[in-house]
Amino acid sequence: MEKNRIKTLNFVTGLARLLAEHTQLSEDALMMAVETPPDSKMGHFAFPCFELAKTWKKAPPMIAAELAAKIDATKPGWLGQAIATGPYVNFFLDRTAFATAVLLEVLEAGAEYGASDEGEGKSVLIDFSSPNIAKHFHIGHLGTTIIGKVLDNIYRFLGYEVTGINHLGDWGTQFGKLITAYLKWGSEEEIIKTEIDGLVKLYVKFHEEADNDPSLNDQAREWVVKMQNGDEEGLRIWKWFCEISMNEFDRIYDRLGITFDLFRGESYYSGKLADDVAESLAAKGLLQESGGAQIVDLEEWKMAPCMILRKDGGTLYPTRDIAAAIDRYETFKFDKCLYVTGNEQSLHFAQWFKVVELMGYPWAEGLEHVPYGMYLFEGGKLSTRRGDVIKIEDLLEETVAKTLAIINEKNPNLSNKEHVAEQVGIGALKFNKLYNSRIKDTVFNWDRMLNFEGETGPYVQYTHARACSVIRKALREDSNLDFGTMGLAMISGATFDPSLLADDEPFEVLRMIHDFPTKVRDSAEKYEPFIIARQLVAVAQAYNAFYHKHQILVDHEPTRRARLVLTSAVRQVLKTGLSLLGISAPVVM
């Protein structure tokens, strides 16, 4: 059996090699052409013959019949059958060989199954989360935080050198407003007592008062200019506000399991670096005056002008973003720099990306905006201006509380229930965002999100815990089983009989496991975590179908062993996949 073994990721390579022998097409082109039918009964892989009709001067069904006959006559041991179905050649793998290849690869790779070194020598920067100082960490920042960290995890898994950056919103007009409000209506004692709640109240009060007294906006802009010029009082207050905010952010990041390699806010780029950008643009003849402000005209590219300097000489978001990008390339020499922000910022990024390109920087092609849809709650978009936000801390508390209530109902005797509720509740919150394409809006539905039987995070986590439970029971019943140091590692595959996994249900599980590495790569290429999330659901669904139809811990030792090896592989893939999504994999639920 070993001589016919092909690494699972090379099944398509093997098919491409076979097809190349008979078509004279390149293996690379053929690998791109090979498809996976939606139903395995149609074949495990398929090759469409339409393109060959041009050169072979034959109808596609005739070509398919000819190719199928030639390949089937000389097929290798891992290929069960090649048959023609209309214009397609459908390939059926040998189930025993397939089971051997997939399970031995998972056994050998363990937690590294699906990982690669394809990113070796390449640098990826991921700019994500970026909450605003002096405002609550609210639901509007949850999407970027979750998606950004998943992309961070995936690229590291694929061997890239990754730098996760939190570009804090710690500069700009809002701080002029806040300082103005603090000096007029606030007190140090009150802010010490109320912390970020007090800062938010001051910010809201400023806007209420400014509606009746527009001069307050002028005062706020004056404070921004003062800070840019190094005003000691303004900078002292600003630094204090930053410290208050970071205390809250750190607490939330710790609970979400989010880490960064670099915290660097807009303020870092507001001085000389931003001035250098303006000077460089002027030197290149790209700056134009418009109503007293300085802009880069982008009409040729059907975009509104990119504002670089305000009338008062103050910098703007694009100025600081351009300065940050230049500094990041000089520091990290990145191949890609991803910006994970809301879809509503797409124009902003398109504008300043174009400006960087016009400045003549060849690395501009590595700048990528990764937009995502909004969180919607009861049909409304959320705003910080009037204070009507859903704070992340409140959301986490409610999610975990609802999860604990479900656990108390389903498994009241579970030990460490609070810890499991934290894992499952926060996992459900993340999975709810990750299960669909990132560009789609996410609407909260508590019942659906916390459903242990739907296409949800709790469902995948529960399947992982089920696999762990089967393995624990096997350990109790047979002390000779080799499970590794933790008792839940892969069972040694040295003696299992893969022919005992040829039934439809276990074979479907194997297919889903086999596809996992490809889904990881697709997810990285398309910046789409949902590809992994949905594959985990597919693995869980296939395993549960197998679990309900086939008893695992049967008396027949070879069958028991084979099914335990499959269970171990499922456990490993679910654990790895959940880890990539930043979600815990509880061993009991």
Q: Which residues contact 315 (CB under 8 A, 6 or more apart)?
A: 228, 270, 274, 275, 278, 308, 309
| CA-based nearest residue to 334, from 162, 124, 474, 553 | 124
Kindly report the length of the chain.
589
At 446 the three-state DSSP class reads helix
Q: Which residues contact 115 (CB under 8 A, 6 or more apart)?
A: 109, 157, 158, 159, 520
What span, in angstroms and rounded, lies between the C-alpha atoms of 464 and 110? 15
Active site residue 135: yes
What span, in angstroms and rounded, lies between the C-alpha atoms of 422 and 341? 26
| Per annotation, catalytic residue among 141, 430, 433, 464 | 141
| Per annotation, catalytic residue among 138, 167, 336, 519 | 138
Which residue has tokens 């889904």? Answer: 519
Tokens of 467: 């696999």
Spatial contact of 165 and 125, defined as CB atoms under 8 Å apart: yes
Q: Where are the alpha helices (DSSP H) in 359-454?
A: 392-410, 417-434, 446-449
What span, in angstroms and rounded, lies between the C-alpha atoms of 194 and 488? 47
Active site residue 514: no
Active site residue 167: no
> In angstroms, what CA-CA distances link 516 with 36, 87, 504, 545?
14, 28, 19, 18
Q: Which residues are catalytic?
A: 135, 138, 141
